[in-house]
């Protein structure tokens, strides 16, 4: 079943939670709504479920316009962040609840509940009450409640955020596998960009109710549409350096700021704007493209180590240049000390170029 | 008093029931009511005690035909010779009895912690 939103807007009092959002979700897609708290992603999900009504715009589930349709008639499964399991009912009854609402026969209910419980490996918990289950088990019951009714779509509101870190990572893979096996269109809300990257077929990145980018997750990483998306995707966040154009030639251009100047090779055809003298730019460098060196590049050179965070696999070093903090991601087994001064540089072939005023990414990779 | 108990039930439980296929009313009946049952019990005990012991309005309205127990008790106890303490104590004990019986019968339905464990965090 595909889902479509056409110019949907929603406000709560003075707050415009969702501003003119249009998106199209293909049948069988794992489609993620990603963004920081308050960006409108949960509101969009609730509007698809029917728990909120859009102020403007149309919502289609399949070819059906569902704006006026009650949640109970939309045939979608909703997994809440807090699970919302019925505490006075057993796991079996929780799973049976949506089927009872439809008036299914006792036998059919029993069969479907057992089937779903086995799929989620919770069959031995059927007689327990929610408060007797672990977080992970509760989460599976919440999932089961959506699966058991063969819904047209699954709507999930940060279902993994209440699990502990190791279980969260394990469940990511399991959820993705499950979704592919069942083939049911899934709309997934999260603020965790790593989750979005690893699980989604496509992702919509939202900020303050406005869609920033809709693309495959890897495209959001490689080709962020603007500075905000570039800083949101990728951890630690991208480093930004303000500067302006000094000279723009055929094969390279020069940028300067108070730290120095740098010649950057480029192909003018890949830029969406012509670079002129004085053009204010923001350069973006991902932490993994910054390195310690003995040959500084002219724009940044000396930095003081602020804090070192070794993870075992890699090391994050936060550095201070001119009272601003930046992040580097380098390999392990390197012995630096906090407070030490080091020389750094970055790979000029991997930088991003943003228009300082609009924030737009000027380069297409 | 019931409002506090209703507020305890997370609105997401109602919403889950609505998405599961029930109308607002049915969701209320099947999910919310069972969860505020302890609240209903507590409120009914409280209300019962209040109305059972109520004196002022009963005195005003039922002195003639349908005297309530507190009103009658006052009438037979207050004599010109003073308060009949013996009758008063016996009468008070008798009046308390129904409330005690009611509470004792109803108490096993006061199940605590029913809602704990359905919500994470």
Is B118 a domain residue? no
Is B45 a domain residue? yes
SS (H, E, C) A179-226: HHHHCCEEEEEECCHHHHHHHCCEEEEEECCEEEEEECHHHHHHCCCE
Query: Strand A210-215's sheet: what is its strand order?
Result: A76-79, A153-157, A185-190, A30-34, A202-207, A210-215
- Please answer yes or no on whether B116 and A82 come within 8 Å at the CB atom: no
Q: A247, A277 in Cβ contact below 8 A?
A: yes
**Chain B interface includes A168 (CB < 8 A):** no
Give me the residue from B10, B18, B35 closest to A88, CB to CB: B35
Distance from the Cα of A223 to chain B's closest Cα (Å) equals: 37
- Residue-wise pLDDT tens digits, A99-143: 998 888 999 999 999 999 999 999 999 999 999 999 889 999 999
Mean pLDDT within A39-58: 94
Quote the domain boundaries for residue B50.
2-109
Taking 70 as the threshold, does the pLDDT of residue A365 lie above it?
Answer: no
- Please answer yes or no on whether A138 and B120 come within 8 Å at the CB atom: yes
- Whole-number pLDDT of residue B109: 59
- Whole-number pLDDT of residue A150: 87
- Whole-number pLDDT of residue A236: 92
Q: How many CB atoms lie within 10 A of CB A141?
A: 25
N residues, chain A: 365
ipTM greater than 0.95: no
Mean pLDDT within A214-219: 95
Taking 60 as the threshold, does the pLDDT of residue A288 lie above it?
Answer: yes
Q: B22, B30 in Cβ contact below 8 A?
A: yes
**Chain A interface includes B115 (CB < 8 A):** yes
Taking 80 as the threshold, does the pLDDT of residue A194 lie above it?
Answer: yes
Report the range of poorest mean pLDDT among A3-17, A135-149, A329-343. Answer: A329-343
The enclosing H or E element of A138 equals helix A135-147
- Residue-wise pLDDT tens digits, B24-80: 888 888 888 888 887 787 787 778 778 877 766 776 676 666 667 777 777 777 767
Mean pLDDT within A262-266: 85
DSSP lists the bridge partners of residue A34 as: A190, A205
Which residues, including other chains, have CB under 8 Å from residue A66's CB and lie 6 or more apart? A50, A59, A60, A74
Which contacts (CB < 8 Å, 24+ apart) does range B12-15 have? B12/A80, B12/A82, B12/A84, B12/B119, B13/A84, B13/A86, B13/B118, B15/A51, B15/A71, B15/A78, B15/A80, B15/A84
Q: A21, A54 in Cβ contact below 8 A?
A: no
Q: A285, A234 in Cβ contact below 8 A?
A: no
Q: A185, A29 in Cβ contact below 8 A?
A: yes
In chain A, which residues have their Cβ closer than 8 Å to the Cβ of B114?
87-88
Which has more confidence, A9 or B112? A9
Taking 70 as the threshold, does the pLDDT of residue A333 lie above it?
Answer: no
Residue in this structure with the two tokens 């920081």, named with its chain if needed: A36
Q: What is the distance between the terminal CA atoms of chain A, rounded to a whole angstrom?
A: 33
Q: Is A174 exposed, middle or buried (0-12, 13-18, 19+ CB in 10 A)?
A: middle
**Chain B interface includes A97 (CB < 8 A):** yes
- Residue-wise pLDDT tens digits, A56-104: 999 999 999 999 999 989 999 999 988 999 988 999 999 999 999 888 8
Which has more confidence, B67 or A245? A245
Rounded Cα distance, A321 and A297, in Å: 14
Grade residue B110 by pLDDT with cuts at 50, 70 and 90: low
- Whole-number pLDDT of residue B63: 65
Rounded Cα distance, A129 and A340, in Å: 56
Rounded Cα distance, A363 and A253, in Å: 14
* DSSP code string of A320-361: EETTEEEEEEE-SS----TT-EEEEEE-TTS-EEEETTT-BB
- Whole-number pLDDT of residue A189: 96
Choosing among 3.30.590.10, 3.40.50.300, 2.40.50.140, 3.40.50.140, the CATH entry for A3-232 is 3.40.50.300
Mean pLDDT within B87-104: 81
Q: Is A80 exposed, middle or buried (0-12, 13-18, 19+ CB in 10 A)?
A: buried
In chain B, which residues have their Cβ closer than 8 Å to the Cβ of A86?
13, 16-17, 31, 118
Mean pLDDT of chain A: 91
Share of chain A above pLDDT 70, in %: 99
- Please answer yes or no on whether A87 and B115 come within 8 Å at the CB atom: yes
Query: CA-CA-CA-CA torsion for A290, A295, A299, A303, nearest 10 degrees?
Result: 60
Q: How many CB atoms lie within 10 A of CB A183?
A: 9
Rounded Cα distance, B71 and B73, in Å: 5
Taking 50 as the threshold, does the pLDDT of residue B119 lie above it?
Answer: no
Which has more confidence, A106 or A250? A106
Q: Residues 118 to 157 of A: which have CB under 8 A from any B CB?
A: 129-133, 135, 138, 145, 149
Choosing among 3.30.70.270, 2.40.50.140, 3.40.640.10, 3.20.20.100, the CATH entry for A239-355 is 2.40.50.140
State which residue of chain B sits closest to A146, comparing Cα positions. Answer: B20
Rounded Cα distance, A219 and A169, in Å: 22
Mean pLDDT of chain B: 75
Q: Hey, which of A266-280, A306-320, B80-94 has the most confident mean pLDDT?
A: A306-320
- Please answer yes or no on whether B16 and A86 come within 8 Å at the CB atom: yes
Is B47 a domain residue? yes
Is B117 a domain residue? no
Total-model pTM: 0.82
Write out the residue limits of the CATH 3.40.50.300 domain(s) in chain A.
3-232
Is B115 a domain residue? no
Taking 90 as the threshold, does the pLDDT of residue A18 lie above it?
Answer: yes
Q: Count the domains in chain B.
A: 1
Q: If phi over 0 gives left and psi between -120 and 50 gives alpha, with beta otherwise, what is residue A158? A: left
Taking 90 as the threshold, does the pLDDT of residue A29 lie above it?
Answer: yes
Rounded Cα distance, A214 and A113, in Å: 36
Mean pLDDT within A324-334: 84
**Chain B interface includes A287 (CB < 8 A):** no
Q: Find the CATH number of the domain harbouring B6.
A: 1.10.3720.10
């Amino acid at each position: 079943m595909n889902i479509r939103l056409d110019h949907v807007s929603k406000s709560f009092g003075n707050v415009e939670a969702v501003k003119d959002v249009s998106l199209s979700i293909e049948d069988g897609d794992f489609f993620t709504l990603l963004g920081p708290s308050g960006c409108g992603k949960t509101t969009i999900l609730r509007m698809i479920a029917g728990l909120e009504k859009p102020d403007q715009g149309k919502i289609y589930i399949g070819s059906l316009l569902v704006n006026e349709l009650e949640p109970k008639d939309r045939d979608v499964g909703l997994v809440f962040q807090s699970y919302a399991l019925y505490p006075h009912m057993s796991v079996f009854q929780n799973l049976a609840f949506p089927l009872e609402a439809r008036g299914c026969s006792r036998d059919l209910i029993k069969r479907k509940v057992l089937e779903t419980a086995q799929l989620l490996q919770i069959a031995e918990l059927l007689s327990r009450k929610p408060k007797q289950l672990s977080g992970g088990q509760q989460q599976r019951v919440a999932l089961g409640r959506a699966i058991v009714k063969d819904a047209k779509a699954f709507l999930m509101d940060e279902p993994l955020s209440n699990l502990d870190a190791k279980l969260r990572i394990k469940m990511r893979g399991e959820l993705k596998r499950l979704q592919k096996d069942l083939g049911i269109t899934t709309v997934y809300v999260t603020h965790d960009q790593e989750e979005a990257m690893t699980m989604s077929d496509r992702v919509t990145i939202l900020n303050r109710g406005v869609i920033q980018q809709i693309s495959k997750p890897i495209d959001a990483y490689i080709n962020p549409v603007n500075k905000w998306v570039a800083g949101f995707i990728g951890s630690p966040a991208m480093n930004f350096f303000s500067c302006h154009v000094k000279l723009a030639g055929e094969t390279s251009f020069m940028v300067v700021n108070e730290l120095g100047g740098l010649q950057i090779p480029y192909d003018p055809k890949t830029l969406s704007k012509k670079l002129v003298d004085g053009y204010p730019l923001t350069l973006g460098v991902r932490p993994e493209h910054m390195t310690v060196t003995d040959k500084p590049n002219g724009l940044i050179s000396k930095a003081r180590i602020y804090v070192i965070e070794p993870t075992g696999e890699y090391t994050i070093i936060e550095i201070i240049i001119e009272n601003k903090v930046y992040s580097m991601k380098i390999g392990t087994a390197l012995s630096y000390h906090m407070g030490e001064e080091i020389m750094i540089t970055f790979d000029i072939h991997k930088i991003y170029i943003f228009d300082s005023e609009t924030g737009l990414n000027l380069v297409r990779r | 008093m019931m409002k506090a108990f209703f507020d305890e039930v997370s609105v997401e439980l109602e919403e889950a029931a609505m998405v599961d296929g029930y109308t607002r009313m049915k969701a209320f009946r099947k999910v919310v009511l069972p969860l505020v049952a302890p609240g209903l019990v507590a409120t009914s005990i409280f209300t019962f005690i209040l109305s059972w012991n109520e004196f002022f309005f009963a005195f005003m309205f039922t002195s003639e035909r349908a005297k309530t127990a507190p009103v009658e008790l006052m009438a037979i106890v207050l004599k010109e010779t003073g308060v009949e303490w013996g009758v008063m104590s016996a009468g008070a004990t008798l009046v308390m009895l129904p409330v005690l019986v009611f509470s004792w019968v109803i108490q096993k339905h006061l199940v605590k912690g029913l809602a704990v464990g359905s919500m994470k965090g």
